Amino acid sequence: MNLVYTGLAVLFTYLVFRECRGYLRRRSLPPGPRGLPLIGNVHQLPTKLPWIRFFEISKQFDSPVISFNAAGQTVIVLNDHKSAFELLDRRSLNYSHRPRFIMAGELLCAGIMLSFISYGDLFRRMRRFTHQVFGPHNAEQFCDMQEKEAGHLVLEILQRPKDWDNSLKRSTSSNILTATYGWPRLDDTYLPLVKRIHDHTEHLSNACIPGTSMVDLFPFINHLPLWMSKWKKKALAWHERESRMFEGFVEDVKVSMAKGHAPNSFTSALIENSEKHGLSNKEGAWLAGIMFSAGAETTSATLENFLIAMIHHPHIMRKAQAEIDRVVGRGRLPTFKDRSQLPYIRALVREILRWRPAGPMGIPRRVSEDDYYEGYYIPKGAIVISNIWAIDRDPALYANPEDFIPERHLDETETVDVSPPDMHGLGHSSFGFGRRTCVGVTFASQSLFINIAHFLWAFNVEAALDANGEKRPPSLTDVIDAGVTVGPAPFDCRITPRSSDVLTVVERSVFQA
């Protein structure tokens, strides 16, 4: 009997100890708003402009790292570069997994879309191959194509200046689809197809928005039979339809390769190295498909932000134009060979990405093991969100972070690139952290540089005029939140050639290339 009492006492002591330890761990989570019983902070998680609201909450609690209880699920938000770099970069193995995206990741994408899969063998194989094509050195193979497309964009805007927005979107789509599938430059006949792929991206982005899918809120309903789950049947049908589209694109490249006239592209390399990368036909097709999803909309949104910046800061536009005129002259268009002599244009690109990141909230991570950061407990399974918008405004790194100042990315001579520490020389965090850093960073940076250099060489941009002839500059705060990608709300502007011979020079460059 004494042994029984002793055993019960030991068990009781263990349970008390475990409960106390759990209580202390809960107490040591990063600070955050007080929640309600059962639902915690679900009602306090921001859905509109969350990057701004999270930043405000971090100021309220005087902590760049904050936490929420989403009905029992711990959510950690990182709002400064120090915490984001330490956790997502230096401890990347523990922070490279994804939460469970049932609708977007499992049903719509069948667990094979790179953005949504957790860190593991499939992720490593997909990322390794993508790096072989779009990595820092290999992406240079696309420079000639990007130069030609930038020239065509300028020509198109010269011909149809009021339709600049559609021209910009078509051009960025053409860039990434040519690089991905080897397609010829997209003209208006491709617009239905481009819209089709944009719809794909929008559908997935919307599925990622918290609260839009009941199955992500109540995972148990995923086990209901199909006859009881119209929403699930619809999602699976969507996946099969999109798979046929992507696999069809790959088959078209195979046919062109067999005929001997397929240009180098991501997909042609995918086909040539099929045994090496070990991806199934379906996995490879979806990997190629994500190249467009990840690249086109973010690039076009960044170029739109560039126009807004130039309208609000004409002195910066004039300074950048003066550099281009000094290096390039007025008899030809800029090229990538000029890049080393255009430090202010390079700085301008970096500042746009810092000032208005097209992805202000990184896709959430999931912690694989318990961790601690500066005394805060970060439990296994916690969802971690990197607030890129706040990180790129970290006052510890950037003086007057709300201001648009390209010079912050140059040394005192304004000839040498500089960057805050632990940013891999980029000067901002808009491409993410660690093993989840955007693999297309070089391709995207090339595209932005050459398009902005061409635009500044050819055009002046000013605010549109209202009915009374008064300037009506675009809003600095109105945005369209498409889930993952955020761009400025539609706006008007006046785009005019800088001189009377611009058209002649552009036509000579475009048609002789």
Q: What are phi and psi of 493, to 5 degrees?
A: -155, 165
Check residue 15 and give its pLDDT.
40
| Exposed / middle / buried, residue 68 (Cβ in 10 Å: 0-12, 13-18, 19+) | buried
C-alpha to C-alpha distance for 78 and 140, rounded to whole angstroms? 34
Residues 347 and 473 in one domain: yes
Per-residue pLDDT, 18: 41
Minimal CA–CA distance to 430: which of 486, 382, 473, 381? 486
Say how far apart CA 506 and CA 513 lie, in whole Å.
11
Rounded to whole angstroms, the Cα distance separating 405 from 428 reads 13
User: Is 203 found in the same domain as 103?
Assistant: yes
Residue 12 tokens read as 């009781």
* 34 assigned to some structural domain: no
∠ Cα 57 58 61 (to 5°): 85
Residue 94 lies in a domain: yes
For residue 5, is it within any domain?
yes
2 shares its domain with 126: no
Low-confidence ranges of the chain (pLDDT < 70): 1-27, 210-211, 482-483, 513
pLDDT for res 302: 95
- pLDDT computed for residue 261 by the predictor: 86
pLDDT attached to residue 401: 96
Same domain assignment for residues 10 and 117: no
Do 10 and 107 fall into the same domain? no
Phi, psi dihedral angles at 225 (to 5 degrees)? -65, 155
The DSSP bridge partners found for residue 69 are 74
SS3 492: coil
- Please, what's the b/e burial string for 340-363 (b: 16 or more CB within 10 A of its CB; e: otherwise)? eebbbbbbbbbbbbbbbbbbbbbb
The pLDDT score that the predictor gives to residue 203 is 86
Residue 211: per-residue pLDDT: 66
Distance, CA of 201 to CA of 196 (rounded, Å): 9
- Using left for φ > 0, alpha for ψ between -120 and 50, and beta otherwise, residue 405 falls in beta
Q: Is residue 229 in some structural domain?
A: yes
Tell me, yes or no, whether 382 lies in a domain: no
Do 228 and 87 belong to one domain?
yes
Quick one: 9 and 136 in the same domain?
A: no
Do 220 and 317 lie in one domain? The reply is yes
**Res 2: pLDDT:** 52
Contacts of residue 512, defined as CB under 8 A and 6 or more positions apart, other chains included, come to none
Measured CA to CA, the distance from residue 424 to residue 363 in angstroms comes to 20
Look at residue 275 and tell me if it is in a domain: yes
Q: Are residues 339 and 467 in the same domain?
A: yes
CA distance 180 to 270: 10
Domain extent for 176:
82-368+403-512
The secondary structure element, H or E, covering residue 497 is strand 493-497
Domain count, the chain: 2
Q: Write the CATH number for 449.
A: 1.10.630.10
Phi, psi of 67 (to 5 degrees): -140, 155
pLDDT given for residue 3 in this prediction: 46
For residue 392, tell me if it sits in a domain.
no
Q: What pLDDT, on the 0 to 100 scale, is given for residue 482?
A: 64
Q: How far apart are CA 458 and CA 35, in angstroms?
A: 55
Asked if 439 and 339 sit in the same domain, the reply is yes
Residue 395 in domain? no
Report whether 438 belongs to an annotated binding site: yes
> What DSSP designation does 221 have?
G
One domain, residues 277 and 361: yes
